[in-house]
Chains A and B, each alone.
Chain A
Amino acid sequence: MLGEERRTEGTALTQPASGRLASPDIRDEFGLETIDMNMGPQHPAMHGLLRLILELDGETVVRCDPVMGYLHRSKEKISENRMYPAVIPITDRIDYMNNMAMEYGYCLAVEKLLDVEIPPRADAIRALMNEFSRIMSHIPSLGFLLLELGAFTPILYAFRERERIQSIMEEVTGARMMFHYIRLGGVKADLPEGMPEKMWEYIEGLESRLQPDFIDLIEGNEIFIARTRGVGKITPEKAVEMGLTGVPLRCTGVEFDVRKHYPYGWYENLDFDVVTDQAGDVEASYRCRIGEVRQSIRMIKQILQSLPEGEVMGDMGRRIRPTEGDGIGRVESARGEYAVHVVSDGSDTPYRVHYRTPCTVNMQLLQEIVPGHYLPDIMPIMGLIDPVSGAWDK
Chain B
Amino acid sequence: MQTVLNLLEAEPIRLLLSFALILFLVLNLAGILTFAERKVAAYIQLRYGPNRVGPRGFLQPAADVVKLFTKENVMPHRADMWIFLGAPIAMFLPAAAVWLVVPFAPRSVVADLNVGVVFFIALTSIGALGLIMAGYGSRSTFSLLGAMRGAAQMISYEVPLILSLLGVIMLSGSLSFQDVVNSQSGGFWHWYFLPQLPMFITFYIAGVAEARRVPFDLPEGESEIVGGFMVEYSGMTWGLIQASEFASMALVSAITATLFLGGWQPPFEFLDLGNFNWLWFAIKTALIIFTFQWIRWSLPRLRMDQLMDFGWKILVPVCLIWLFVTAGAMLLLPSVF
Binding site for B on A (CB under 8 A): 18-20, 35-38, 43-45, 56, 59, 146-153, 156-157, 160, 221, 223-224, 226-227, 374-379
Q: List 28 A-B contacts (CB under 8 A).
A: A18-B305, A19-B305, A35-B144, A38-B141, A59-B145, A59-B148, A148-B223, A149-B300, A150-B221, A150-B222, A150-B223, A151-B214, A151-B299, A151-B300, A157-B45, A221-B299, A223-B299, A223-B300, A223-B302, A226-B306, A227-B303, A227-B306, A375-B145, A375-B224, A376-B301, A376-B303, A377-B303, A379-B224
- A59–B301 CB distance below 8 A: no
Contact between chains at A45 and B44 (CB < 8 Å): no
Residues of A within 8 A of B148 (CB): 59
A370 to B: closest C-beta gap in Å:
12
Chain B residue numbers with a CB within 8 Å of A227 are 300-303, 306
Encoded as 1 (CB less than 8 Å from any A CB) or 0, chain B from 192 to 236 comes to 000000000000000000000011010001111110000000000
Query: With A37-B141, A150-B214, A150-B217 as given contacts, are A156 and B300 in contact (CB-CB < 8 Å)?
Result: no
A160 in contact with B46 (CB, 8 Å):
yes
- Interchain CA distance A38-B142 in the complex, whole Å: 9
- CB contacts (< 8 Å) of B225 on chain A: these are 375
Q: Is the CB of A378 within 8 A of B224?
A: yes
- Contact residues, B298-327 vs A (CB, 8 A): 298-306
Assess whether B223 is in contact with A149, with CB atoms less than 8 Å apart: yes
Name, among B144, B298, B299, B306, the residue most crowded by chain A CB atoms within 10 Å (CB to CB). Answer: B299
B221 and A376 form a contact (CB under 8 A): yes
At the interface, yes or no: B41 with Cβ under 8 Å from chain A?
yes
Scoring B149, B224, B306 by chain A CB atoms within 10 A of each residue's CB, the highest score goes to B224
Q: A150-B214, A153-B44, A223-B215 are in contact. Are A44 and B223 (CB under 8 A)?
A: yes
Contact with A along B256-291 (1 / 0, CB 8 A): 000000000000000000000000000000000000
Q: Contact at B46–A44, with CB atoms within 8 Å?
A: no
- State the Cβ distance, B217 to closest chain A Cβ, in Å: 7
Bound Cα distance from A160 to B221, whole angstroms: 26
Q: Knowing A153-B45, A160-B46, A378-B224, say if A59 contacts B304 (CB, 8 Å).
A: yes
- Residues in B with CB closer than 8 Å to A148 are 223
Contact B304 A43 (CB under 8 A): no
Query: Is there a chain A Cβ closer than 8 Å to B47's Cβ?
Result: yes
**A156 and B45 contact, CB distance less than 8 A:** yes
On chain A, the residues within 8 Å of B224 by CB distance are 45, 375-376, 378-379
CB neighbours (8 Å) of B299 from chain A are 150-151, 221, 223
Cβ contact of A224, chosen from B149, B214, B300, B304, cutoff 8 A: B300
Are B300 and A157 interface neighbours, CB within 8 A?
no
**Chain A residues with CB under 8 A of B306:** 226-227
Nearest residue, chain B, Cβ from A38: B141
Report A-chain residues with C-beta under 8 Å of the C-beta of B149.
Answer: 59
The distance from the CB of A47 to the nearest CB of chain B, in whole angstroms, is 12
Please name all residues of chain B whose beta carbon is closer than 8 Å to the beta carbon of A378 when the two chains form the complex.
224
Closest chain B residue to A58 by CB distance? B148
CA distance A36 to B140 in the complex (A): 11
Contact A146 B300 (CB under 8 A): yes
CA distance A151 to B300 in the complex (A): 4
A20 B217 Cβ-Cβ under 8 A: no
Residues in B whose Cβ lies below 8 Å from that of A221: 299-300
Q: How far is the CB of B142 from chain A (nearest CB, A)?
A: 8
User: Which residues on B sit within 8 Å (CB–CB) of A379?
Assistant: 223-224
* Nearest A residue (CB) for B141: A37
Contacts of A59 in B (CB 8 A): 145, 148-149, 304
Whether B304 pairs with A376 at a CB distance below 8 angstroms is yes
Q: Is B238 an interface residue (CB 8 A)?
A: no
Contacting B300 at CB < 8 Å: which of A20, A44, A45, A150?
A150
Question: Do residues A157 and B301 form an inter-chain contact, with CB atoms below 8 A?
Answer: no
CA distance A18 to B309 in the complex (A): 14
Per the bound structure, the CA–CA distance linking A227 and B301 in Å amounts to 8
With the chains together, A152 CA to B215 CA distance in Å?
Answer: 12
Q: Contact check, A374 vs B304: say whether CB atoms are below 8 A apart.
A: yes
Q: Which residues of chain B have C-beta atoms less than 8 A from A151's C-beta?
A: 214, 298-301
Picked from A147, A149, A153, the residue with its CB within 8 Å of the CB of B297 is A153
B 5-57 contacts with A by CB, 8 A: 41, 44-47
